[in-house]
Amino acid sequence: METLLQSFPVALLMFCRITSFFVTAPVFSARNVPASVKIGISAFVTLSVYLIYGVDQTVPTDLSYILLIIREILIGLLLGFVAYLLMTAVQTAGTFIDLQIGFGMANVYDPMTGASAPLTGNLKYAFAMLLFLTMNGHHYLLDAIVYSYRWVPLSNLFFLRLADGSIAEFLIQTLSQSFMLAFQMSAPIVVALFLTDVGLGFLAKTAPQFNVFAVGLPLKLLVGLAILLLLVPSFSFVFSQLFEAIFRSMEILLGTIGQRPS
């Protein structure tokens, strides 16, 4: 009984971080993943992590334990949110493309997130998820939350890092990186459609008898879909760079909160 009373608070703190990570992490946080599955995976990972890192640890069981729970929940949410933030660059790129093609008003329901998503963004996000699972990205996410206890143990300085602004600065940089990746992924189609608009502008000036509005919409649609078809083989390279940026950002976050293990 004494051993149980000592180990339960430590395991509960680990369970809080791991569960909150699965609430926001890509793939695991999808709405079509049952809550019982998320809780079961969290409990199994918690047991494994406790046997590795938590057997000899002790934590205070007074009122400060509430602050420890809040701290662990924030660490898990932040770690999963960073991965999810960079993954949304795919849908942001799809929004840029749809605004140029003319699909901006044809958003569809995304069962993964429970919100409306652009058509091209949905297509590219489906490709990204399939490649993410093919490249065992979900295994790397599990590695990230398990090995986070080597970088950020239960006795960490998260609140100090939050107070001095280092975490806020990291989130701003990650958000800017997400937009930059979205611009890079959408740039070929957006530039091609912009040049199409320029050509239609010259056509309207040189041949006013043409109805540019009637010709421009189907032309931009054909050009956009044709270039998208040509870019599909490059998705594996583009998304592999995106996944590398995700795991690199998670590593930087762990280094910001804690420190690299020796």
Quick count: other Cβ atoms within 10 Å of Cβ 65? 14
Q: Does position 82 have pLDDT exceeding 90, yes or no?
A: yes
pLDDT at residue 44, as a whole number: 92
Residue 233 pLDDT greater than 90, yes or no: no
Read off the pLDDT of residues 197-211 as tens digits, 9 standing for 90 and up: 888 888 878 877 777
Q: Which band of pLDDT confidence, cut at 50, 70 and 90, is reported for residue 171?
A: very high
pLDDT at 262: 67
- Say which amino acid occupies 88: T
Token readout for 30 is 């999808």
Residues 40-52: tens digit of each pLDDT: 999 999 988 888 8
Predicted confidence at residue 117, as pLDDT, reads 64
**Lowest mean pLDDT across 102-106, 109-113, 174-178:** 109-113
The set of residues, in sequence order, having a beta carbon less than 8 Å from that of 23 and lying 6+ positions away, is 29, 38, 76, 77, 80
Q: Which of 89-93, 100-104, 109-113, 231-235 has the lowest mean pLDDT?
A: 109-113
